[in-house]
């Protein structure tokens, strides 16, 4: 096995394409996501502000920031500058309160967008003004200075979720998709080659997409394999896991 560290990227689709897809690359270079997303020239791309996505944004994919990443930096700075850190976290919490109410209340798109305009936008405007003011008082290389700089440098991207009800305040869904891989890292040591990881990425895409859509993965795969030999190629769109729902045993999701 080569002395290298590969990378498993997680991509989540939108409402119309509610799938989880993993892609393996031998390294963390920008060539991986640029290849995977090469057919896209428009639309939104939400991420953690990784510089490797800059080329994608230059060619037309609109950058959407992640408030969870911005908040995390203030959380990490709370021991060295608790007053500023907690002040920022409190403001960010007000943004999340709107999203939480919308989710728990089952709000429609119109109501969500109205709340974002009436409640979230003023909070953001106040937050940006506060960050601009505090940036002149802190050391740039201090934890709080870096937290403020991250938020300010990504201001446009972090505000962009207000543009559409299809956009989220953060990319935690993607973080959740990659978490099982990170937590079980030692369990993947048997995949000692690029080929093994590419196979794993395909299988993980199937399993995680099924789970996200409420399908029991093994039941879905068995059903598709039973059908695929006789299923008309002209109706291949009937087979993805968002088109067929096979419940978990005893009516409950496992794992």
- Looking at the fold, whether 210 and 243 belong to one and the same domain comes out as yes
- Looking at the fold, whether 235 and 109 belong to one and the same domain comes out as no
In sequence order, what are the residues at sequence separation of 6 or more whose Cβ sits closer than 8 angstroms to the Cβ of residue 161? 64, 65, 67, 116, 167, 168, 169
Residue 180 lies in a domain: yes
How many structural domains is the chain composed of?
3
Residue 158 lies in a domain: no
Residue 34 lies in a domain: yes
Residue 161 lies in a domain: no
- Looking at the fold, whether 52 and 100 belong to one and the same domain comes out as no
* Radius of gyration for the chain, computed over Cα atoms and rounded to the nearest angstrom: 21
Residue 240 lies in a domain: yes
* pLDDT tens-digit profile, the chain (255 residues): 344 577 889 899 888 888 899 999 888 888 889 999 998 888 999 988 888 889 999 989 999 999 999 999 999 999 999 999 999 999 999 999 999 999 999 999 999 999 999 999 999 999 999 999 999 999 999 999 999 999 999 999 999 999 999 999 999 988 888 777 766 666 666 556 778 888 888 888 988 898 888 888 888 888 888 888 888 888 888 888 888 666 666 545 544
* Residue 138 structural domain: 67-153
Residue 83 lies in a domain: yes
Residue 162 lies in a domain: no
Residue 12 lies in a domain: yes
- Looking at the fold, whether 236 and 115 belong to one and the same domain comes out as no
- Looking at the fold, whether 24 and 147 belong to one and the same domain comes out as no
């Amino acid at each position: 096995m080569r002395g290298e560290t590969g990378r498993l990227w997680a991509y989540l689709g939108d409402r119309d394409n509610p799938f989880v897809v993993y892609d393996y690359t031998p390294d963390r270079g920008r060539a991986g996501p640029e290849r995977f997303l090469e057919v896209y020239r428009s639309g939104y791309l939400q991420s953690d502000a990784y510089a490797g996505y800059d080329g994608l944004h230059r060619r037309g994919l609109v950058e959407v920031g992640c408030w969870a990443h911005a908040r995390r930096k203030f959380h990490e700075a709370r021991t060295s500058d608790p007053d500023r850190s907690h002040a920022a976290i409190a403001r960010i919490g007000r943004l999340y309160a709107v999203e939480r109410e919308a989710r728990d209340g089952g709000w429609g798109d119109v109501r969500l967008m109205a709340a974002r305009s009436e409640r979230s936008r003023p909070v953001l405007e106040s937050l940006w003004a506060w960050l601009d003011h505090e940036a002149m008082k802190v050391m740039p290389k201090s934890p709080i200075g870096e937290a403020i700089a991250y938020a300010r440098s990504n201001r446009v991207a972090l505000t962009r979720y207000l543009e559409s009800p299809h956009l989220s305040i953060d990319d935690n869904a993607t973080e959740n998709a990659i978490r099982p891989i990170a937590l079980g890292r030692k369990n993947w040591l048997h995949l000692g080659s690029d080929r093994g990881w590419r196979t794993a990425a395909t299988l993980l895409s199937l399993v995680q997409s099924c789970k996200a859509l409420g399908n029991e993965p093994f039941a879905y795969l068995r059903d598709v394999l039973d059908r695929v030999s006789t299923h008309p190629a002209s109706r291949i769109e009937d087979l993805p896991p968002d088109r067929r729902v096979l419940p978990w045993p005893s009516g409950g999701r496992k794992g």
